[in-house]
Copies of this chain bind each other. A is one copy, B any other.
């Protein structure tokens, strides 16, 4: 496949700790419910899953935020539970309760039924969307592919949906660790082929979201989450089409363990807002790039406050290479989109300022 030439490579350069004219910025969940045009497309699609599974619509919502804001990257619009869905666990969404599985893993027989889905088959809608988005982007900004982490996917697959206390998944962790490892290993293999297929289809960078790694003890995090992310990092096609494909790992609630995450061989570590980025940089040095990490709630404040918070964060990181600005978590659905415009413009403004300081 031949894609249009990339015009804005700030994001990719920052991930590789190369010089850029200003700090690149993208926003987790930048394509989402806070945008009226997203809600409109979502309505047309019917269900949320239909939206994810129709490449033209997934492409449309991926591009929507780029029409409004001067963002430096696009991220594939999809769900993190596509892999377990392709494993036939029966993904569905119940209004107001989030994702659910009709067939959660509750027995050894359920584990034996798990398999590595072929991305050319049941996940074809994802790679089709990636290629279409990459074409439609026309080189404007790079496209990020992504997956949930094995531990995060496992919690949903074992609990049958979201969880408050991880009764079944952590119950398995403590009572039958070998069974949990079996599940995690199959998921990790699946994530490798899934992300490699996204890279093949046109993703220029990939990110792994370990949304629930932070609910583990340090020892359990290493053994049941980090270990599998490292395995994935080692098996990804990190070069494609004469380009390096940077990999970002993000564990929400994992600020305590960023040294470990940085040591997996990834290119960048995503930070939530519970750590000061200057402390993070001090602890990690320039081993990897850092992505983050403004509290998403700052977007509820007025323009002046948002600008001040952006300025402060950029100054804390300092005049170094290797910073991708982002929120510390996904943008909330009740945020006014105009506030995000203030943020994005402020990042570029203060990012330039710090480079001239």
Segment of A73-81, A163-171, A191-199, A234-242 engaged in the interface with chain B: A163-171
Interchain CB contact (< 8 A) of A174 among B279, B301, B332 = B301
CA of A216 to CA of B302, assembled, Å: 19
Chain B nearest CB from A227 CB (Å) reads: 17
Chain B nearest CB from A206 CB (Å) reads: 27
For chain A, residues 152 to 205, give those with C-beta under 8 angstroms from any C-beta of chain B.
Answer: 165-167, 170-171, 173-175
Q: Residue A345 at the B interface, CB < 8 A?
A: no
Interchain CB contact (< 8 A) of A220 among B173, B253, B295 = B295
Copies of this chain per assembly = 2
Q: Residue A298 at the B interface, CB < 8 A?
A: yes
For chain A, residues 285 to 344, give those with C-beta under 8 angstroms from any C-beta of chain B.
Answer: 295-298, 300-302, 305, 309, 328, 332, 334
Interchain CB contact (< 8 A) of A218 among B173, B175, B276, B302 = B276
Does B167 contact A301, Cβ atoms closer than 8 Å? no
Q: Residue A275 at the B interface, CB < 8 A?
A: yes
Does B171 contact A275, Cβ atoms closer than 8 Å? no
Residue of A220, A255, A301, A309 with most partner-chain B CB within 10 A? A301
- 4 interchain residue pairs of minimum CB distance: A170-B297, A171-B300, A174-B301, A175-B301
